Amino acid sequence: MHPAFSVVFFTTATGAGYGLLALLGLLGGLGYIPADFWLGFVGMGLALGLIAAGLLSSTGHLGRPERAWRAFSQWRSSWLSREGVASVATFVPACMFGIGWVFLGRNGGWVAIAGLLAAAGAVTTVCTTGMIYASLKPIAQWHSRYTLPAYLIFAAMTGSVLANALLQGFKLGSTAVLICALLATLIGWGWKLATWRYNDRLEIPTTANTATGLAGGSVRSIEWPHTEENYLLKEMGFRIARKHSAKLRRIAQGLAFIAPAVLLAVAFALPWPFVAIASALAAMSQLAGMLVERWLFFAEAKHTVTLYYGRE
């Protein structure tokens, strides 16, 4: 019983990929980043590679991956379907932007329009991903005002840290991008702390009595509804000890927020290539930390259905 790694990797990789794509589309298309072939090739390759890897990993979470295409038909009512449609649609302007910026070496004009559309598509896709979880009323830890902004903040944070590492590696480091990466990391840390504080104080009014509609006594389960684990118990009924949760929270904070913030702050005073090394280490540490943070996001969530299994 544990959160599926495919979903943990999916949310981490696509968040970073879409964050980087949005920044490249904005800065590259509008000419704030030069149309350098290798910079664009590596940057777009990294962004689209993370997105593609994340999307492919998500299919491993399906019982019948060959039927994944059917999810696209439910876009009127399903945030999961809307995410799929938005993710595929974003590839169109992203590829157009990549062709113009990377291979043709152009800024402005239709390249800028394609870059802006790619950035808008990236933000839209991240929003749909966040709404998949924020819309789930049976999971109180997700159905809150913190979930959707967290997805947007973390995408901006990981995207800006990756963009800074990319620019520093090509000797095109920008103080503005470095400052944005540092500020986004600090904002992400503050938002995560606020989310944990909210969830730790969360009082869920639903009980076995209200879930079953029975009154006049204390309802309790004497046996499970079935004999084997099901999907909800495996992924939304995970029980993690408080001491392990506290330890993993410290690890997530250290890797995803504290270490990158320190490295980025130190980078202001470093010459090249040390500033590039510090920036790259900040990006790698943050991605590793976000894997832990995302694992906790799923592990600490509790689905109301667990009340039917005798859990409070």
Q: Whole-angstrom Cα distance, residue 52 to residue 1?
A: 27
pLDDT at 224: 63
Give the mean pLDDT of the chain: 87
pLDDT of residue 287: 96
Range with lowest mean pLDDT among 57-61, 63-67, 77-81, 264-268: 63-67
DSSP-derived 3-state class of residue 32: coil
**Which residues lie across from 139 on neighbouring strands?**
303
pLDDT bucket at 51, cuts 50 / 70 / 90 = very high
Higher pLDDT, 76 or 189: 189
Evaluate if residue 116 carries a pLDDT over 90. Answer: yes
Give the mean model confidence (pLDDT) for residues 14-33. Answer: 93
pLDDT of residue 1: 46
Q: What is the pLDDT of residues 214-264, one digit of tens each?
A: 777 777 766 666 666 666 666 666 666 667 888 999 999 999 999 999 999
Q: What number is the average pLDDT over the span 37-58? A: 91
User: Which one, of 198, 215, 19, lies nearest residue 125 by Cα?
Assistant: 19
Report the range of poorest mean pLDDT among 9-13, 61-65, 120-124, 270-274: 61-65
CA distance 12 to 198: 22
Whole-number Å distance between alpha carbons of 157 and 19: 8
Q: What is the chain's length? A: 312
Dist CA 257 CA 243 (whole Å): 21
The model's confidence at residue 113, banded by pLDDT at 50, 70 and 90, is: very high
State which amino acid sits at residue 81: S
